[in-house]
Amino acid sequence: MTSFNSFHIVFYLTAFFLSLTTFIFTLIQRRTDRLQNVLYFCLLGIVIINSTTEIINDLMFEYSAFTDIALFGYKLCQFLYFLFHTAMAPVFLIYEMSVTGALRKRTTKELNLIMTPFVITEFLVIINPWTHWVYYYDSEQVFHRGWGEYFIYMVAALYIIIAMFSLMVRWNAINRKKRFTLLYFFGVTVGGILIQAIFKNLKTELFAEALGIMGVMLSIESEDDRLEQMTGVYNRVALQQDLKNYDMTETKYTIISLRIKNIDSMTKKTGSLDDDNFNLKLTDFLKTLVQRYYIYDVNRGQYVIAVPTTDSTKDNLLNTTFRRFEPSLSCDTIRDRIVERFKEPWEIERTSLSLEAAVMVVKCPSEAADRNEVFDLLNNPIPRNITQDVFEGDDLKYIRRRSEVEKAIMRGVKNKSFEVYYQPSYNLQTLKMHGAEALVRLNDKKLGFIPPDEFIKVAEQIGLVGDIDDFVLHDVCTLIKDGILEIGEMDCINVNLSIVQFENEDFPQHLCNIVDEYGIDHSKICFEITETVESEDYRKLNEAIVFLKDKGFTFSMDDFGTGYSNVSSSLMLDFDQVKIDKSVLWEAEKSTLGMVVFENTIRMIRQTNRSIVVEGVETENQLNVLKKMNVDYLQGYYFSKPVPKQRFVTLVEISRQE
Ligand code: C2E
Ligand code: CA
Ligand code: CA
């Protein structure tokens, strides 16, 4: 008898130490705040309590024949074992539902229904001291099973079957690791139960449960791969996993994205070390709005709060029983609090920084169908000229369009499906053709025609404008090589360059190389650049211009007078030509003040000895006004819209015959 008991104790001790170890490591990780974590703790608690009662139980049994206290202790432990162990399967079912996301769909009524068999079994255990239905002791104090115990086993089996079924239904909603772990848990515990049922003296049940639970800790509860170690919030991968789960379980959710627009200027001011400080400060602030586990750090300076919305039925479990695990603020309040907070400066290591935040609110699936669309929206850079700080509802259409345009540009670059149009310019005195401006077009299979005003900006932001400008330059070179300028007795063709490209030191040489492939005279190409307030590095830009002018190219300053350009510093740059923006001409026609601005603009440029082009000439009236002005060239719909290359060639040939 004695030898058998110590044999049991080995199993119980192992189960005890295994689960204790698991318990300690779970505590060390300090991930105990989610509903899932709490349920896990319950499971762990049950195994620890059960192995403890089993150990005491066995020890007491040794002495139960001698003292009444030992006998009482022995029976009490047996009772406690049943009391707690009966809860194991149902708690596991709830845990499994919380991991797979199934819990989000269940109502309190349904939970009560699911828990009814459990309550009955617990009741049986509680009344057993009087009824002896579950187990009893004979006159020799030997333990015997009653029908109640078989009933309890059947109920447990029922819970395990439901849990298995629930797992199968949500199979694709969770990742492989979680699936495997849950299956492992099923396998190992059912194995342990079966072995114990067949060989009564092999007490493998608790031991197997402890093993299974340890597996769950290692793979599901430990979220090292999902967590930002420093701040304790989730990372981008976690967001992908969680949104996938919401999508697959058809759970509605709201995304609140927070992006620091001027994150780079912060680093400039404080150094990268303080990035960490700021990160901590910001996540601490977000944690005052929602629980840690709803926050994701997706990129440098970009954070997301993803809140699944439970079914609006009041009765939903997560609105009632498990309410405290849900966010207490509404998404609107969270959004407002963020906006408010960014009106105040951030104190980081004695530096006070005012940061600009763009907040985007996306409701899924009504505003973004699935996680892919959400990530499209999250990945989109916010255009610099947008000052708005909240994007929601209809604003999203704009951002979405942008991401569509982005894809169209990538397709266009890949399939070389851009086309170059040409718009002639005319000499004001002779009204003969003087040159032409090359203007790119994108006709996308999916989106149709996209105006360059829209896609050039986007191409700049995604770093593809270089490919577009190269494509245009090649087209222009071919045209010049074919002798278009000679046919039309014209001076040059204007090619637009995006200023962002001058950030690359090798860019000027790159342009030379392209043109030299065609062996044409550099003076036949005039580069147009729009100088903006944002372009800070005048020195670098001017060096590039001087270099290219040295090689024989000419330069035209585009969009002069649009307010984007910084008049005094832009006139310091070494341009040959200034193109007055169409808006200046149009204003001149509308008001006397506009006319004053127009006339003075012309006078000012004249004093710097540059030739002047006026664009946007649409009417005869405008032409007549311009004839009295001291400008050189005109461009506009009055003469011709930008036209496809073939059409342009014809135009040139006709103009020659006139
Ligand atoms: P931009 O360089 O100021 O080009 C002039 C724009 O004014 C062209 O628009 C042209 O079609 C339009 N325009 C010309 N005359 C008239 C007129 O009489 N009335 C009106 N309403 N508009 C007129 P487009 O072709 O849509 O180009 C828009 C902008 O896209 C360009 O402005 C330029 O900044 C950019 N862009 C176009 N092609 C290229 C390119 O190859 N490379 C780069 N980097 N940017 C380009
Ligand atoms: Ca231009
Ligand atoms: Ca222009």
Q: What is the mean pLDDT of residues 418-442?
A: 96
Contact 375, 381 (CB under 8 A): no
- Of the chain, the percentage scoring pLDDT greater than 70 comes to 95
Q: What is the mean pLDDT of residues 497-508?
A: 92
Ligand nearest to the CA of 458: 1
Kindly report, residue by residue over 361-410, the tens digit of the pLDDT: 999 999 999 999 999 889 877 666 567 789 898 888 888 888 889 999 99
Q: Is 559 in the pocket of ligand 1 (CB under 6 A)?
A: yes
Q: What is the mean pLDDT of residues 498-511?
A: 93
Query: At 563, is the pLDDT very low, low, confident or very high (cuts 50, 70, 90)?
Result: low
Distance 528 CA to ligand 2 centre (A): 6
Question: For strand 390-392 and strand 418-427, is the pairing parallel, antiparallel, or unpaired?
Answer: unpaired
Q: What is the C-alpha to C-alpha distance for residues 403 and 380, in angstroms, rounded to an integer?
A: 6
Residue of minimum CA distance from atom 46 in ligand 1: 496
Kindly report, residue by residue over 520-539, the tens digit of the pLDDT: 999 999 999 987 656 567 78
**What local confidence, expressed as pLDDT, does residue 156 receive?**
94
Contact 388, 357 (CB under 8 A): no
Q: Is 515 in the pocket of ligand 1 (CB under 6 A)?
A: no
**What local confidence, expressed as pLDDT, does residue 385 receive?**
58
Q: Is 449 in the pocket of ligand 1 (CB under 6 A)?
A: no
The Cβ-side half-sphere exposure at 1, using a 13 Å CA radius, reads 7
Query: At 69, is the pLDDT very low, low, confident or very high (cuts 50, 70, 90)?
Result: confident
Kindly report, residue by residue over 104-121, the tens digit of the pLDDT: 888 889 999 999 999 999
Contact 217, 19 (CB under 8 A): no
Q: What is the mean pLDDT of residues 254-273?
A: 79
Mean pLDDT (the chain) is: 91
Distance 439 CA to ligand 1 centre (A): 6
Q: Is 58 in the pocket of ligand 1 (CB under 6 A)?
A: no
Query: At 251, is the pLDDT very low, low, confident or very high (cuts 50, 70, 90)?
Result: very high
Q: What is the C-alpha to C-alpha distance for residues 451 and 129, in angstroms, rounded to an integer?
A: 84
H-helix segments, 380-493: 395-415, 452-461, 465-481, 484-488
List, in order, residues 6 or more apart from 163 with CB less than 8 Å away. Answer: 89, 92, 93, 96, 97, 186
Q: Is 561 in the pocket of ligand 1 (CB under 6 A)?
A: no
Ligand nearest to the CA of 616: 1
Q: ω into residue 365 within 30 of 0, thus cis?
A: yes
Kindly report, residue by residue over 344-355, the tens digit of the pLDDT: 999 887 788 888
Which atom from ligand 1 is nearest to the alpha carbon of 495? Answer: 41
Contact 576, 611 (CB under 8 A): yes
User: Hey, which of 615, 620, 623 would you mutate to test ligand 1's pocket, going by the most ligand atoms within 8 Å of its Cβ?
Assistant: 615
Which atom from ligand 1 is nearest to the alpha carbon of 456? Answer: 45
Contact 351, 270 (CB under 8 A): yes
Residue count of the chain: 658
User: Hey, which of 468, 496, 589, 622 would you mutate to test ligand 1's pocket, going by the most ligand atoms within 8 Å of its Cβ?
Assistant: 496
Distance 614 CA to ligand 2 centre (A): 11
Angle formed at CA 161 by CA 160 and CA 166, multiple of 5 degrees: 95
**What local confidence, expressed as pLDDT, does residue 2 receive?**
45
Q: Is 591 exposed, middle or buried (0-12, 13-18, 19+ CB in 10 A)?
A: exposed
Residue of minimum CA distance from atom 20 in ligand 1: 616
Question: For strand 577-580 and strand 611-615, is the pairing parallel, antiparallel, or unpaired?
Answer: parallel
Kindly report, residue by residue over 594-645, the tens digit of the pLDDT: 999 999 999 999 999 999 999 999 999 999 999 999 899 999 999 999 999 9
Q: Is the pLDDT of residue 30 over 80?
A: no
Q: Which of 25, 89, 84 is nearest to 49 (CA)?
A: 84
Q: What is the mean pLDDT of residues 169-191?
A: 93
Q: What is the C-alpha to C-alpha distance for residues 416 and 325, in angstroms, rounded to an integer?
A: 53
β-strand partners of 137:
143
Q: Is 562 in the pocket of ligand 1 (CB under 6 A)?
A: no
Give the residue, 384 or 439, on which the prediction is more confident.
Answer: 439
Query: At 571, is the pLDDT very low, low, confident or very high (cuts 50, 70, 90)?
Result: confident
CB atoms near residue 465 (< 10 Å):
24
Q: Is 614 in the pocket of ligand 1 (CB under 6 A)?
A: no
Distance 186 CA to ligand 2 centre (A): 69
Indicate the residue type of 126.
I
**What local confidence, expressed as pLDDT, does residue 534 receive?**
60
Q: Is 469 in the pocket of ligand 1 (CB under 6 A)?
A: yes
Query: At 1, is the pLDDT very low, low, confident or very high (cuts 50, 70, 90)?
Result: very low
Distance 534 CA to ligand 2 centre (A): 18
Q: What is the C-alpha to C-alpha distance for residues 49 and 81, in angstroms, rounded to an integer?
A: 8
Q: Is the pLDDT of residue 299 over 70?
A: yes
Q: Is the pLDDT of residue 340 over 90?
A: yes
Distance 615 CA to ligand 2 centre (A): 9
Q: What is the C-alpha to C-alpha distance for residues 256 and 391, in angstroms, rounded to an integer?
A: 10
User: Hey, which of 413, 418, 456, 535 would you mutate to test ligand 1's pocket, going by the most ligand atoms within 8 Å of its Cβ?
Assistant: 456
Residue of minimum CA distance from atom 22 in ligand 1: 616
CB atoms near residue 373 (< 10 Å):
17
Query: At 308, is the pLDDT very low, low, confident or very high (cuts 50, 70, 90)?
Result: very high
Q: ω into residue 129 within 30 of 0, thus cis?
A: no
**What local confidence, expressed as pLDDT, does residue 280 receive?**
92
CB atoms near residue 84 (< 10 Å):
21
Q: Is 440 in the pocket of ligand 1 (CB under 6 A)?
A: yes
Q: Is 453 in the pocket of ligand 1 (CB under 6 A)?
A: yes
What is the pTM for the complete model shown? 0.73
Which atom from ligand 1 is nearest to the alpha carbon of 618? Answer: 18
Distance 242 CA to ligand 3 centre (A): 47
Q: Is 444 in the pocket of ligand 1 (CB under 6 A)?
A: no
Which atom from ligand 1 is nearest to the alpha carbon of 497? Answer: 44
Q: Is 616 in the pocket of ligand 1 (CB under 6 A)?
A: yes
**What local confidence, expressed as pLDDT, does residue 535 receive?**
57
Element (H, E) at 137: strand 135-137
Q: Is 289 in the pocket of ligand 1 (CB under 6 A)?
A: no
Q: What is the C-alpha to C-alpha distance for residues 85 and 92, in angstroms, rounded to an integer?
A: 11
Residue of minimum CA distance from atom 41 in ligand 1: 440
Q: Return the structure tokens found at 367.
A: 């505003």
Ligand nearest to the CA of 472: 1
Neighbours of ion ligand 3 (CB under 5 A): 558-559
Which atom from ligand 1 is nearest to the alpha carbon of 530? Answer: 34
